[in-house]
A and B are shown apart, each in its own frame.
Chain A
Amino acid sequence: MNPVSTPSAPVITHHAPHLQPGEGEPGTVRESHDHHELGFLRKYVFSLDHKIIGLQFLFSGLVFLVLGGLMAMAIRYQLAWPWTPMPGLSWMFPATGGAITPEFYTMLFTMHGTIMIFFVIIPLLTGAFGNFLIPLMIGAADMAFPKLNMFGYWAMWPAFVLILMGFFVEGGHAAGGWTSYPPLSTIESAAPGSLSGQTYWLMSLTWVGVSSMMGAVNYVTTIVKMRAPGMTLMRMPLSVWGLFIAAFLQLFALPVLTAASIMQLLDRVIDTGFFTPTNLIVNNLTPDSFAHGMPAAAAGGQPLLWQHLFWFYSHPAVYILVVPAMGFTSDILAVHARKPIFGYKPMVYSMAAIAGLGFIVWGHHMFTSGMNPALGMSFMVATIMIALPSAIKVFNWLGTLWGGRIRLNTPMLFAIGFVSMFIIGGLSGIWMAATPVDIYIHDTYIVVAHFHYVVFAGSMFAIFSAIYHWYPKMFGRVMNETLGKIHFVGTFIFTNCTFYMMHQLGVAGLMRRTADPYAYDVYAHLQPLNEFITLSAFCMFAWQIFFVVNFFHSLFWGYRVGRNPWQANSLEWDAPSPPGHGNFDGPLVVHRGPYEYSSPEVAEDYLPQTRAV
């Protein structure tokens, strides 16, 4: 059987009635000429197929999402009702009557941040969707380096193992914050989590870095070299552009983090003292004391050096977290608004501008760190200007919706949610960038509100949107719309209840990372607000059950759909659902950009990139 891409009858329908049970052909594997049956292990575990690798990233990312989410719930519980027996965890703390200990709390938020950033959002965006979408969207049969790709995923497994092992070592997991500022993180006596948990953390992160590097090399090569005939750079979907730019960010920034974490690892393991100043007295120990023979550690290092190196990667990493999400949103908005993306080139340029400026703004994390204040001034200007490309993107998304024929299905709702939430997250960033204001709000809950609006309400919404949108392509079945809409409404409401109120906490001066804010008089009145946030967060977490049920239910019992259930233009919808080995039925020729919706050239309201007119 060799189904070809046949556009359905030119009927313009707006509310997705085309998702009928049994419609279209089931996703069939192309009988390719070099076809040979692979065993289960080769096909699903040590697969070289970019789609399977993408799904592997997707599933492991979702598992870690649950873990990181549970940690967030524990954090929220402690903030609402500090030092009371924590449901589900109280058995671990008989000595305190079930209340968690403060070092456990520091571990919780450290690992929540680490897991959500390095094990959920980055792998989901670049690992899962990067792998799955790039070859399909540019019309390639696979990645440029399939084995490197497989290695990229399996390099995550040492990271998974190490990050989980860290929870079971003496002193618990790393507890220096996800930013791991030395000397807290490098000197073993400084915190229980710095005994050995931090070492696991660093090793794990190094492996994540290796994995991301493999991916980035692969994405860039694939996009540069393996585009289908006619697929010029300026005909690529914005998702691919987003992933392309994110891959460049990783290529240039990641080596710095890898070097920095190896330096910190050396500081910890062989006491090199890159980040350790002289003559500290930490927990009654002097690491570089000459008192008893040889000093235990070299010193003369600089704690600020780590902050520069770390943020040199981790600020661009924030854009790695959001630029692909912007790309997905652009695609999904255009498809479901049945309208060409407004200002394709400005969109591309603004993404590139965000990435470029992203390299010269890391200092805004350090305005109060003791860095030269004049340096802070220059970082401020760069940081404030980075709001400009973000603003351009928002206006263009609005322009895309204007005059569209919007189909309000679940992926579209989440994409619109992304735009709405990204506006909040982006605008509150201007406060962070303004140096004098940042003196006050640095490390307060405004910062927490800001990056959760960008990373949860932004990137995570985009990921939900992308899962709903590309699920038919991944599994040949479509997710349930009703459940999806229920999922969206609850998530949208509770996300805002949770994170919007954090702005108020921040304006009131509440700083982050405190196990018990009410130890301070000035914050004592904020407990009711924290209780509200906690209850909202619990509801938001519980609400995700609709997604989980929908995801697994649809995996087995969802409606089967054909190749192009959304009537979209880009190349992946030309392939069978799910695409077989080699992706496409045959050679493709690309005739136009991916956003020719409602084109007057044809009767129907979409015009696939491959169709010659």
Chain B
Amino acid sequence: MMRLIAFLLLIAVPILGVYTFVNAQEHNWWFPPAYSTFAPDIDWLFNFIMYMVAFTFIVTEVALAWFVWQYSAKRNDKGVFTHGSHKLEMIWTAIPAVALLVIAFTQMETFAKIKFASGFPTDGPYTREKPIAEVWASQFDWRFRYPGDDGVLGTVDDLESSFEFVVPVGVNVVFHLRARDVIHSWFVPEFRLKQDALPGHTIPVWFQATKEGSYDLVCAELCGWGHYKMAGRVRVVSAQEFDAYMAELKAKWFSNGKE
């Protein structure tokens, strides 16, 4: 009886495990849509690892279930007396080692592109030295400071917006991430982009959004009791709309308070 139950439980793990992943998209328990240039790369790498892992997962779990079923039968003889096999050990050391190295090396290019200084855009309107805006995280809100007409941050004509970060679509956007009090983290699920904001540091971050729309900006590093409500939004708009937005922001900034 226990033999059957144990077998069923163990064989259910790979079956239901794979089924859950296959079924996840249907329930929308899967990646949010990928709307940055490197998001498809990250998804591809995730899936690449997932398929390799799934193969190992299925093989080992099925083997485990099968061995438990096969060798727990009532028998009145002794088990196989073996202390191992050098050849097998070599095989199952070498093959995973190669597979793991393949995994490791396929990751590098994408990571370098996203995070390395050398991966940052140099040709577009925004660069590491000349960002589109400064993003300030503090307990518990996001503020975005665009350079004003002079194009220099930190001067008196800077424009500031809260909650909503508006960026143009299809353009490499570089911003400087800063924190005023504790560690926060910039996370936009649709862009697959996460970067901690460290107090005392200015961290350049880049991305290129590929689709217009509004996306939630999430704080992904515990920043205190209000961590859960530290929401923001990234609104991706066309180049014209971006110019209009900047004009609107400027008008609002220098408004005389008449409504």
The answer to whether A and B assemble together is yes
Is A106 within 8 A of B182, CB to CB? Answer: no
Q: Residue A339 contacts which of B24, B63, B80, B114 (CB distance < 8 angstroms)? A: B80
Of the listed stretches B5-13, B146-154, B159-167, B244-252, name the one at the interface; the rest are far from the partner chain.
Answer: B5-13
Is B181 within 8 A of A489, CB to CB? Answer: no
Verify if A338 is at the interface (C-beta below 8 Å from B).
yes
Is B46 within 8 A of A437, CB to CB? Answer: yes
Q: A282-B139, A373-B116, A385-B104 are in contact. Are A191 and B224 (CB under 8 A)?
A: yes
Q: Which residue in chain B gives the minimum CB-CB distance to A407? A: B72
Bound-state Cα–Cα, A434 to B81, Å: 40
Q: Residue A373 contacts which of B57, B79, B112, B198 (CB distance < 8 angstroms)? A: B112
- Chain A residues whose C-beta falls within 8 Å of the C-beta of B75 in the assembled complex: 14, 405
Is A337 within 8 A of B79, CB to CB? Answer: yes
Within the complex, the shortest CB–CB distance from B224 to chain A, in Å, comes to 5
Query: Which chain A residues numbered 173 to 232 have a C-beta less than 8 Å away from chain B?
Result: 175-177, 181, 183-184, 187, 190-192
Verify if B171 is at the interface (C-beta below 8 Å from A).
no
Bound-state Cα–Cα, A508 to B9, Å: 27
Verify if A597 is at the interface (C-beta below 8 Å from B).
yes
What 1/0 mask marks residues of chain A from 385 to 417 whose CB sits below 8 Å from any chain B CB? 101100110111011011111111000010010
Bound-state Cα–Cα, A384 to B101, Å: 8
Verify if B189 is at the interface (C-beta below 8 Å from A).
yes
Bound-state Cα–Cα, A492 to B227, Å: 33
Of the listed stretches A120-128, A242-250, A273-281, A581-589, name the one at the interface; the rest are far from the partner chain.
Answer: A273-281
Q: A190-B139, A384-B104 are in contact. Are A403 and B79 (CB under 8 A)?
A: yes
- Chain B residues whose C-beta falls within 8 Å of the C-beta of A192 in the assembled complex: 225
Measured as residues with beta carbon below 8 angstroms from the partner, the interface class of chain A is 35 or more
What 1/0 mask marks residues of chain B from 54 to 97 whose CB sits below 8 Å from any chain A CB? 00110011011001100110111111111111001100110011
Q: Which residue in chain B gives the minimum CB-CB distance to A513? A: B222
What 1/0 mask marks residues of chain A from 276 to 294 whose CB sits below 8 Å from any chain B CB? 0111111100000000000
- Chain B residues whose C-beta falls within 8 Å of the C-beta of A544 in the assembled complex: none
- Chain A residues whose C-beta falls within 8 Å of the C-beta of B101 in the assembled complex: 384-385
Bound-state Cα–Cα, A39 to B138, Å: 60
From B30, B38, B71, residue with most partner A Cβ within 10 Å: B71
Q: Residue A430 contacts which of B38, B49, B72, B222 (CB distance < 8 angstroms)? A: B49
Bound-state Cα–Cα, A380 to B215, Å: 29
Verify if A529 is at the interface (C-beta below 8 Å from B).
yes
Verify if A519 is at the interface (C-beta below 8 Å from B).
yes
Is B229 within 8 A of A492, CB to CB? Answer: no
Within the complex, the shortest CB–CB distance from B81 to chain A, in Å, comes to 5
Bound-state Cα–Cα, A505 to B83, Å: 42
Verify if B228 is at the interface (C-beta below 8 Å from A).
yes
What 1/0 mask marks residues of chain A from 369 to 387 whose CB sits below 8 Å from any chain B CB? 1100110110011001101
Is A344 within 8 A of B116, CB to CB? Answer: no
Bound-state Cα–Cα, A423 to B10, Å: 12
- Chain B residues whose C-beta falls within 8 Å of the C-beta of A430 in the assembled complex: 49, 52-53, 100, 103
Q: A190-B182, A416-B6, A508-B32 are in contact. Are A370 and B64 (CB under 8 A)?
A: no
Bound-state Cα–Cα, A108 to B89, Å: 45
Bound-state Cα–Cα, A291 to B31, Å: 49
Is B68 within 8 A of A416, CB to CB? Answer: yes
Verify if B200 is at the interface (C-beta below 8 Å from A).
yes
Bound-state Cα–Cα, A38 to B71, Å: 48
Within the complex, the shortest CB–CB distance from A305 to chain B, in Å, comes to 11
Bound-state Cα–Cα, A177 to B231, Å: 20
Is A507 within 8 A of B24, CB to CB? Answer: yes
From B80, B200, B216, residue with most partner A Cβ within 10 Å: B200
Verify if B17 is at the interface (C-beta below 8 Å from A).
yes
Within the complex, the shortest CB–CB distance from A511 to chain B, in Å, comes to 5
Bound-state Cα–Cα, A424 to B14, Å: 10
Verify if B237 is at the interface (C-beta below 8 Å from A).
no
Verify if B253 is at the interface (C-beta below 8 Å from A).
no
Q: A184-B224, A190-B224 are in contact. Are A597 and B79 (CB under 8 A)?
A: yes
- Chain B residues whose C-beta falls within 8 Å of the C-beta of A520 in the assembled complex: 216, 218, 231
What 1/0 mask marks residues of chain A from 98 to 126 whose CB sits below 8 Å from any chain B CB? 00011101100000000000000000000
Query: How many residues on B have C-beta within 8 angstroms of the other chain's C-beta atoms?
Result: 102
Is B83 within 8 A of A342, CB to CB? Answer: yes
Is A391 within 8 A of B20, CB to CB? Answer: no
Verify if A509 is at the interface (C-beta below 8 Å from B).
yes
Bound-state Cα–Cα, A105 to B224, Å: 10
Q: A183-B199, A377-B108, A420-B13 are in contact. Are A406 and B68 (CB under 8 A)?
A: yes
Bound-state Cα–Cα, A192 to B224, Å: 8
- Chain A residues whose C-beta falls within 8 Å of the C-beta of B82 in the assembled complex: 339-340, 342, 403
Verify if B194 is at the interface (C-beta below 8 Å from A).
yes
Is B3 within 8 A of A370, CB to CB? Answer: no
Is B228 within 8 A of A516, CB to CB? Answer: yes
Is B110 within 8 A of A431, CB to CB? Answer: no
Verify if A574 is at the interface (C-beta below 8 Å from B).
no
Is A435 within 8 A of B24, CB to CB? Answer: no
- Chain A residues whose C-beta falls within 8 Å of the C-beta of B29 in the assembled complex: 504-505, 507-508, 526, 529
Q: Which residue in chain B gives the minimum CB-CB distance to A492? A: B9
- Chain A residues whose C-beta falls within 8 Å of the C-beta of B13 in the assembled complex: 420, 424, 496
Is A443 within 8 A of B220, CB to CB? Answer: yes
Q: Residue B196 contacts which of A344, A369, A500 (CB distance < 8 angstroms)? A: A369
Within the complex, the shortest CB–CB distance from A456 to chain B, in Å, comes to 15
Bound-state Cα–Cα, A299 to B79, Å: 66
Verify if A15 is at the interface (C-beta below 8 Å from B).
yes
Is A442 within 8 A of B220, CB to CB? Answer: yes
- Chain A residues whose C-beta falls within 8 Å of the C-beta of B64 in the assembled complex: 398, 401, 416, 419-420, 423
Query: Which chain A residues numbered 262 to 282 have a C-beta less than 8 Å away from chain B?
Result: 277-282
- Chain B residues whose C-beta falls within 8 Å of the C-beta of A503 in the assembled complex: 20-21
The contact sample of 19 A-B pairs, CB cut-off 8 A, is A191-B225, A280-B200, A380-B107, A387-B96, A394-B60, A405-B77, A413-B2, A420-B61, A423-B56, A423-B57, A424-B17, A430-B103, A431-B53, A439-B111, A508-B29, A511-B220, A522-B189, A525-B28, A605-B78
7 other contacts beyond A283-B139, A368-B196, A496-B16, with CB at 8 A cut-off? Answer: A106-B222, A191-B225, A370-B196, A405-B75, A406-B68, A407-B72, A439-B111
Residues on B lying within 8 angstroms of A by beta carbon are: 2-3, 5-6, 9-10, 13, 16-17, 20-21, 24, 27-32, 38, 41-42, 45-46, 49-50, 52-53, 56-57, 60-61, 63-64, 67-68, 71-72, 74-85, 88-89, 92-93, 96-97, 100-101, 103-104, 107-108, 110-112, 114-116, 138-139, 180-183, 185, 187, 189-190, 192-201, 203, 215-216, 218, 220-229, 231
Residues on A lying within 8 angstroms of B by beta carbon are: 12, 14-15, 101-103, 105-106, 175-177, 181, 183-184, 187, 190-192, 277-283, 302-304, 337-346, 368-370, 373-374, 376-377, 380-381, 384-385, 387-388, 391-392, 394-396, 398-399, 401-408, 413, 416, 419-420, 423-424, 427-428, 430-431, 434-437, 439-444, 485, 489, 492-493, 496, 500-501, 503-505, 507-509, 511, 513-517, 519-522, 525-526, 529, 595, 597-600, 605
Top 4 closest A-B pairs, CB basis? A277-B200, A403-B80, A509-B189, A343-B84
